[in-house]
Amino acid sequence: MKIFIAGLGLIGGSFALAMRDRGLADEILGAERNGERAAEALRRGLADRIVSFDEGVRTADLTVLATPVDTIPLLAVKALNRVGARQTVIDMGSTKAELCEVIALHAARGRFVAVHPMWGTEYSGPQAALHGAFAGRNVVLCETERSEADAVALVEGLFRALEATPVYMEAEEHDLHAAYVSHISHVTSFALANTVLEKEREDRRIFDLAGGGFESTVRLAKSSADTWVPILLQNKYNVLDVLREHIHQLQLMRRMIERDDAEGLRRTIDRANSIQRIIR
């Protein structure tokens, strides 16, 4: 199978490594606008050749769009304008509603499968690509009823071969849930990091006390703005809804602390502990 990946960063690069490791790719073509990133992708074996977007889509069996989410809708249209009846296009973005709306009426809509692997790290670029990235993870497939059966079967088969589990959702449902389990975590981490950095201006000794708890909480604050600004703006209404509830919960805890409400804090923390049913 010949694969074309537009965007050889964390997700696209890790997908390339996974396909190579499983022997699923005969050739991997890549597209990168940044010359340094393109050279790094080649050096790391993420692609055999760097080609133009048109050449990649035209010649590949599978086109993978792994660029920032604000670029994916237009690239999806461009790809669908060029694909044949047996070619398949997928994206790897973490927002889906706008994308699926843009391509809804395209004549080749059936050749597209909207995909979101539920995996990532705080790092970016070709150097961030990892082996075994998708093993044991869920991969969301959106609006599969609008995709042709053979395209869906191909994508399901590939991700199962990578030891990922397909999960099926509608696009708007996906974006709502992604806001709660992914997007809010990044907003919180960015805000906490800036809170501490503001304090650090007054007292540099604060970082002498920063331990594992702080590191794990602000880990996501190292994530790229190029990735996250488009995600937060494209999913803004869901993110704003989640933020309202998050701020409300913070205000409740603030009032409990102000009032020395030990019992209220205990109930709040005990309730939060039940997240172990979801995350172990």
* Average pLDDT of span 132-157: 98
CA-closest candidate to residue 31, choices 42, 23, 21, 19? 42
Q: Is the same domain home to 258 and 153?
A: no
Q: Could you give the number of structural domains in the chain?
A: 2
Q: Is the same domain home to 11 and 143?
A: yes
Residue range(s) defining the domain that contains residue 60: 2-169
Q: Is the same domain home to 156 and 187?
A: no
Q: Is the same domain home to 217 and 94?
A: no
pLDDT band at 277 (very low <50, low <70, confident <90, very high): confident
Residue that is last in its domain, among 169, 195, 216: 169
pLDDT band at 206 (very low <50, low <70, confident <90, very high): low
On whether the CB atoms of residues 13 and 44 are closer than 8 A, the answer is yes
In angstroms, the Cα distances linking 88 to 2, 4, 51, 60 are: 11, 10, 18, 9
Q: Is the same domain home to 121 and 187?
A: no
Q: Is the same domain home to 266 and 178?
A: yes
In angstroms, the Cα distances linking 45 to 34, 39, 139 are: 17, 10, 24
How far apart CA 62 and CA 54 sit, in angstroms, is 13
What CATH number does residue 239 fall under?
1.10.3660.10
What is the predicted pLDDT for the residue at 201?
66
Interval 31-43: pLDDT, tens:
999 999 999 999 9
Residue that is last in its domain, among 118, 141, 169: 169
Q: Is the same domain home to 48 and 69?
A: yes
* Average pLDDT of span 102-116: 98
* Average pLDDT of span 54-81: 98
pLDDT band at 198 (very low <50, low <70, confident <90, very high): confident
Interval 179-192: pLDDT, tens:
999 999 999 999 99
Q: Which helix (H) or strand (E) holds 29?
A: strand 27-31
CA-closest candidate to residue 91, choices 278, 189, 230? 230
Q: Is the same domain home to 242 and 269?
A: yes
Q: Is the same domain home to 28 and 158?
A: yes
| Greatest mean pLDDT among 21-35, 183-197, 216-230 | 21-35
Q: Which helix (H) or strand (E) holds 5?
A: strand 2-6
Residue that is last in its domain, among 143, 169, 195: 169
On whether the CB atoms of residues 217 and 192 are closer than 8 A, the answer is yes
What is the predicted pLDDT for the residue at 111?
98
Portion of the chain with pLDDT greater than 70, in percent: 94
